[in-house]
Amino acid sequence: METELRDALAARLAHYETLTEVGVGRQPTVAAALAAAGKRVVVTDVHEFEVPPELRFVRDDVVTASERPDPGPAYRSAAVYALNLPPELHRPTRDVAAAVGADFLFTTLGYETPDVPCETETLAGGRETLYVVSRDRRPKGQR
């Protein structure tokens, strides 16, 4: 991920003290930038990946987590976010965020539309769209 885009995402997400990144993969650059800014960041993925020591890695499947009565401590944060999130994971990740009372923020692969109702924010001079489902703007029954 290029520096300008990473910095724009990290700056926006830095409004939260605690964050969980879903599907970190081999790109922990935004999470590492947030941790360097003093934020507590947990990263999750269905596969085991090495991450910088300032990040806490938890191997978990967000779809499975969305089906549990309690998604688990890895997701207990002020914000749950995902970068390049495929459409089939929009709803499960939103549901996990709702279950822990967190905001849900995500980017897509760039060509699909969000599969959940959300607001949009433009970052990096218009080069990235961040989709936001605020814990305060969920329909009744999803708060």
Q: Which pLDDT tens digit goes with each residue over 42-60?
A: 999 999 999 999 999 999 9
Which of 14-18, 32-36, 105-109, 132-136 has the least mean pLDDT?
Answer: 132-136
Asked if CATH classification 3.40.50.150 holds for the domain at 3-133, the reply, yes or no, is: yes
Alpha helices in 37-143 (DSSP H): 62-67, 90-100
Instruction: Report the predicted TM-score, pTM, of the whole model to 2 decimal places.
Output: 0.93
CA 119 – CA 55 distance, rounded (Å): 28
Q: In what order do the strands lie in the sheet with 128-133?
A: 56-59, 40-45, 18-22, 79-82, 103-106, 128-133, 119-123
List, for residues 52-89, the tens digit of each pLDDT value: 999 999 999 999 999 999 999 999 999 999 999 999 99
CA distance 140 to 143: 6
Q: Answer for the pair 55, 31: CB distance below 8 angstroms, yes or no.
A: yes
**Residues 83 and 106: beta-carbon distance below 8 Å:** yes
DSSP H or E segment with residue 42:
strand 40-45
Q: Give the start-to-end residue ranges of the domains of the chain.
A: 3-133
Residue matched to tokens 């999470």? 31
